[in-house]
Amino acid sequence: MNGGVGRYECPDDPVGSLPDSFVKISAGYRTREGGFTTEDRASGVIVASNAILTHHHFYSDNVTPETLESVILRSADGQRITARGEFSVISGSELGGMHNGLTLIVFEDDFSGGSVAPMSGAGAHLNGEDAQQSVRIGAKPGLYNTQIIDGADEFEFNNNPFPGILVAPDQTVRGDSGAPLYVDGSVVGVNNQGDGQYGAITNIPLIQYLINKVTEDLRGSNHGAQ
């Protein structure tokens, strides 16, 4: 972890203090015809070096824990990071009574292969007195030039370095669920709804100790089984 809740630096490709906790999650699954495909289902927040907190949309509809085969993130240099193999999908109710619409995805190994940066989607973006207005950053899919984030130590959330526009919460789209909530430059929560709905906000710091416990317990049990 780097800088507290929701911020993580991959040691393979550090990018300073870039707030790179927001990821777009693509669920990989087998179609009925047997082919392999991916489809964006949700946004997420990295809450540990091997875990993403998101909304239940990640494995709802056509994607289920039984058919899920990979999780694809976007790295800072524009390359995809594909996490395959051992991971657990944990509902909010299993995390000490968290909102049941939340899901924690815990991988056996830490993320690697580049720092995670936005791929698409958005998330509520709040600053001080404007906290009740809840505008969001609408970053569109695309490749991101790492030169854009040089001097990230001076980065402010209201000067987002990634391509995007500010829109009202009623303009959220499907796939925004699970995106991070920023207040005064810190990730403090998760949007429980997208697709034009504001929904509830879950406070990450209040549940971080539960997340840490679950991720460490799973890591220990997985490695112990090897």
User: What is the per-residue pLDDT for 150?
Assistant: 30
Is pTM, for the whole model, over 0.75? no
Residue 108 has which token pair?
């056996």
The domain limits of the chain are 22-219
User: What is the per-residue pLDDT for 89?
Assistant: 75
Q: How far apart are CA 120 and CA 169, in angstroms?
A: 16
Closest to 29 measured CA to CA, from 61, 75, 1: 61
Domain at 22-219, CATH class: mainly beta
User: What is the per-residue pLDDT for 115?
Assistant: 42
User: What is the per-residue pLDDT for 51?
Assistant: 74
pLDDT by residue, tens only, the chain of 226 residues: 122 233 333 333 332 222 344 555 555 444 555 554 555 556 666 666 677 777 665 555 445 555 555 555 544 344 445 555 567 777 766 766 555 567 777 777 766 544 443 322 333 333 333 322 333 333 322 222 222 223 232 222 233 323 222 233 444 455 556 665 544 444 555 655 544 444 445 556 666 677 777 777 877 676 555 5
180 exposure class (CB count in 10 Å sphere: 0-12, 13-18, 19+): buried
The residue type at 54: T
